[in-house]
Structure 1
Amino acid sequence: MTQQQPGAPYRTATEPESGGPTGEPPIWAPRYGASFGQAVGRFFRKYATFSGRASRSEFWWAYLVVAGVSFILVAVAIAYRVATVEYRTYDLGGGQVYQATTPPGPVFWLLLTLPALWWLATIVPTLALGWRRLHDANLPGALYLIAVFVGIVGIVFGLLPSNPEGARHDRPEAGR
């Protein structure tokens, strides 16, 4: 295998996949056509790596996992609350009746902290992944901060096509 020149593209989306003995591109290079497992593995291996690029498949599979786990954790907390809610009726006299729910118990609050912990665990790699995705489209990664405030922008950024000129963001000397 020939030595990769810094700043030269590892490969474009149209070139065949090549890499080391396993055929896997180096960790600093984007993984075009990544499978679900490959994308999720790279998402966590590149936890806080803001340099380099990420392919659309890497971005969307990881996005699916982060959003899916978040949805499931919130749904479990809500389902628990709905299943355990109790209504109490209080007669205030004079024909006035007041109905109130019991306050949620500690299990509900524990279940509610799980989505918050998941968010804390994935906010940095999610930002890094979006940053790298913009690099693959040859845009400055800092633009991804807009997606923090305007969520739909993150989806639009994820749809951008790869641009071979984005290879200028690669840092082969920093990774394997």
Structure 2
Amino acid sequence: MQGAVRRSPSTERSALGSVEWATAPTGPPHDHDGHGRPTRGGARIRLPDSLTVTGPVLGARPWIACARAVTRLTTTGRASRSEFWWTWLLQTVVAAVLLLAVPLLQGRTRDLQLPSGPFGPGLLGTVPLFSWNDTSGAPAGGASVVIWTVWSLLTLAPMVALAIRRLHDADHSAWWALGAVLVPVLSFVVLVLLAQRSKPVGVRFDRAHLDRPGADRPGAEGALAPSEGGR
């Protein structure tokens, strides 16, 4: 029997989502398939669903949550609780190291503060998580503060967009995020809203949900849920 033998596409379910590939025909290895897409060992390279799905990823791992935060710079759509809080926690850890740990080791113990809020401890942080003032020490500052300022500027847009998508997932308007900026006391209220469970009716904030019949049902296209539970 002559000619190349083709295998049907296969799908493998992993912790990151389903990854689909097509096995290339037998013969010499190629760096690209017939459509110019890169291949590796005869398998077409595709990103996992958890990185490309437009809806919320329930039970997202920390690295998936952070990757989606920096690659999805849009306020349209939704984000799950795990997507938001893992990214928020990373932002808080970076801030704690640069604004507290490093200055304390340098003896800069005057006016140490760690602000936070719905958008993390960045430039829009209005909720004081920690405050320390030792007048006998040097004032806060130094290279760590400069590094933090640059970091907070780079992550400001992703954190704001992520918070808005998380509000959408809990079926709340983005106006709550604006209210937290204009009225700092509302930050506590917004933090509570951000901690609420996902609601299927939040699909109304998706751009094209009306074009996808049944998209408002849990588990419909546009949302990715883990095999066991989810947040």
* Band of TM-score, shorter chain: 0.5 to 0.7
2:111 counterpart of 1:75:
no
TM-score, with structure 2 as normaliser: 0.52
Q: Match of 1:133?
A: 166
Residue identity opposite 2:198 in structure 1: S
Following superposition, the deviation at residue 19 of structure 1 comes to 6.0
Give the structure 1 partner of residue 213 of structure 2: none
Amino acid at match of 1:166: G
Whole-angstrom distance in 1 between the partners of 2:171 and 2:108: 49
Give per-residue Cα distances to partners, 1:48-77, cap 9 Å, x unaligned: 310000000001101101111111110244
Correspondence list, 1:1-80, <5 A? 21=20, 22-24=48-50, 26-46=52-72, 48-80=73-105
User: In structure 1, the residue corresponding to 2:172 is in which secondary structure?
Assistant: coil
- Distance verdict in 2 for CA 1:72–1:170, change over 3 Å: same
Q: Secondary structure in 1 aligned to 2:54?
A: coil
Q: Does 1:171 align with 2:207?
A: yes
Number of residue pairs matched by the alignment: 141
3-state DSSP of counterpart to 2:79: coil
Q: Secondary structure at the match of 1:140?
A: coil
Structure 2 spans left out of the alignment, 5+ residues: 1-15, 21-47, 111-134, 210-221, 223-231
Tell me, in whole angstroms, the C-alpha distance in 2 between the residues paired with 1:121 and 1:130: 16
Letter in 2 for 1:71: A
Q: Is the 8 A contact 2:170 2:199 kept in 1?
A: yes
In 2, Cα distance between the equivalents of 1:113 and 1:74? 10
**Equivalent in 152, 163, 173 of residue 188 of structure 2:** 152
Give 1:114's aligned residue: 147
SS in 1 for 2:180: helix
Structure 1 spans left out of the alignment, 5+ residues: 1-16, 86-99
Q: Scaled by the length of structure 1, what TM-score is found?
A: 0.66
Counterpart of 2:89, as a letter, is L
Change over 3 Å in CA distance of 1:31–1:172 after alignment to 2: farther
CA contact (8 A) 1:77 1:112 kept: no
Residue in 2 aligned with 1:124? 157
Identity %: 33
Higher RCO by CA contacts (8 Å cutoff, separation 6 or greater): 1
Mapped to 1, the partners of 2:208 and 2:53 lie a distance apart of 9
Once residues 72 and 84 of structure 1 are traced to their aligned partners in structure 2, the CA distance between those partners, rounded to angstroms, is 14
